[in-house]
């Protein structure tokens, strides 16, 4: 069975490199068109192509504002296409995805993964923990995804399992944008709820994030429903009162200097979107993350009014 689907286009028109073993560079993009763990509205399986299509709006800018360098001159990025698995057999998704991310990491690159529902982060983190040990985590979401009562394949339980499996270093893990119920007692993650972030702003939020993650290898998981539904309506379980895209971009941009090892953007469901705003938000957040990686490599910095 082939592992990889064919592509209409790649993220940011980077080269299509279906086999990670054939790549020596910085970042490999993978789409994971899986949404069978969704509890609410399905459709995140179309997220990868939605994000890739929306990235067409971002390619004209040689050096994306506010950065003072062109990404392609400083970061080698390729797109591996979409992961294939057998529909109706979620374990094939789980096995194929961990094996694929193993290969990405073995190539020396880090993974930028587009979901799919949030469950896909669990098989990704299994590969990451093999390489880095338990990772520090910056998790943007309306939901903590730490619910213990779900079924085996459930996009609301992945961090419950990730903690139980020792994939995440919870002393260095922080959840940002939370605004739904969770079990507060013994909750192992630091939580910056959406009202706190919106009230205190990105600088104070970054201070808390950076104090929590320190210099540990840090994985960023961005559930697009961390954004407000006014910004990102195209998602399965929208919750009012989320982050603005301005706040989210400033937080991602402010991660300069952190020891970033990978990112995913999940839960983009284009069927519920309007004018591609959700897909555009997902593509922009991912691109901003790539600029941060390049800046961390010494590519340059920002033009920002002070």
Binding-site positions for Mn(2+) = 118, 141, 143, 145, 223, 225
Task: Indicate whether 264 belongs to the interface with Mn ion (CB under 5 A).
Answer: no
Among the listed ranges 5-13, 75-83, 219-227, 250-258, the one in contact with Mn ion (CB under 5 A) is 219-227
Give CA–CA dist 80/252, Å, rounded.
24
Q: Which ranges of 13-157 does DSSP label H, i.e. alpha helix?
A: 47-54, 90-106, 121-132
CB of 13 to Mn ion, least distance (A): 29
126, 143, 172, 216: residue in contact with Mn ion (rule CB under 5 A): 143
The smaller minimum CB distance to Mn ion, of residues 17 and 194, is found at 194
List the strands of the sheet with 190-193, edge to edge: 77-82, 27-32, 110-115, 260-266, 218-223, 135-140, 168-178, 190-193
CB of 190 to Mn ion, least distance (A): 17
Q: Which ranges of the chain does DSSP label H, i.e. alpha helix?
A: 47-54, 90-106, 121-132, 158-164, 194-213, 245-253, 277-296
Q: For residue 142, give Cα distances in angstroms to 113, 181, 195.
A: 19, 10, 11
Among the listed ranges 146-154, 163-171, 223-231, 274-282, the one in contact with Mn ion (CB under 5 A) is 223-231
Number of residues that bind Mn ion (CB under 5 A): 5
Q: Compute φ and ψ for 67, nearest 5 degrees.
A: -85, 150
Residue 13: Cβ-neighbour burial (10 angstroms; 0-12, 13-18, 19+): middle
Structure-token pair, residue 56: 């067409």
Among the listed ranges 78-86, 140-148, 248-256, 290-298, the one in contact with Mn ion (CB under 5 A) is 140-148
Task: Indicate whether 117 belongs to the interface with Mn ion (CB under 5 A).
Answer: no
Task: Indicate whether 225 belongs to the interface with Mn ion (CB under 5 A).
Answer: yes
The smaller minimum CB distance to Mn ion, of residues 217 and 282, is found at 282
- Is-contact 229 238, C-beta < 8 A? yes
CB of 300 to Mn ion, least distance (A): 34
CB of 266 to Mn ion, least distance (A): 8
The smaller minimum CB distance to Mn ion, of residues 154 and 223, is found at 223
Among the listed ranges 39-47, 82-90, 188-196, 217-225, the one in contact with Mn ion (CB under 5 A) is 217-225
Point out which residues pair with 250 in neighbouring strands.
none
* Radius of gyration of the chain, Cα coordinates, nearest whole angstrom: 17
The smaller minimum CB distance to Mn ion, of residues 158 and 295, is found at 158
141, 154, 273, 288: residue in contact with Mn ion (rule CB under 5 A): 141
Where do contacts with Mn ion occur on this chain (CB under 5 A)?
141-143, 223, 225
């Amino acid at each position: 069975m082939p592992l990889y689907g064919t592509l209409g286009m790649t993220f940011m028109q980077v080269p299509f490199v279906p086999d990670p073993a054939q790549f020596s560079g910085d970042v490999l993009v993978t789409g994971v068109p899986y949404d069978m763990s969704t509890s609410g509205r399905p459709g995140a399986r179309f997220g990868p192509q939605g994000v890739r299509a929306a990235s067409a709006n971002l390619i004209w800018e040689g050096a994306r504002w506010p950065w003072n360098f062109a990404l392609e001159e400083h970061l080698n990025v390729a797109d591996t296409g979409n992961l294939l698995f057998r529909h109706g057999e979620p374990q094939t998704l789980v096995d194929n995805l961990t094996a694929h991310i193993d290969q990405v990491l073995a190539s020396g690159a880090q993974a930028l993964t587009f979901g799919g529902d949030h469950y896909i982060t669990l098989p990704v983190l299994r590969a990451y923990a093999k390489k880095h040990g338990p990772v520090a985590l910056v998790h943007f979401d309306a939901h903590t995804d730490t619910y213990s009562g779900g079924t085996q394949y459930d996009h609301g339980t992945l961090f419950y399992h990730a903690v139980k499996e020792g994939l995440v270093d919870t002393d260095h893990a922080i959840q940002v944008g939370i605004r739904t119920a969770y079990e507060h007692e013994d909750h192992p993650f630091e939580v910056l709820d959406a009202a706190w972030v919106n009230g205190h702003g990105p600088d104070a939020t970054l201070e808390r994030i950076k104090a929590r993650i320190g210099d540990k290898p840090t994985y960023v998981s961005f559930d697009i429903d961390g954004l407000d539904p006014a910004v990102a309506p195209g998602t399965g379980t929208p919750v009012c009162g989320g982050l603005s895209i301005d706040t989210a971009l400033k937080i991602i941009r402010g991660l300069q200097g952190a020891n970033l090892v990978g990112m995913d953007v999940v839960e983009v469901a284009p069927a519920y979107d309007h004018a591609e705003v959700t897909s555009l938000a997902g593509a922009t957040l991912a691109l901003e993350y790539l600029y941060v990686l390049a800046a961390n490599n010494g590519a340059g910095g920002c033009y920002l009014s002070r």
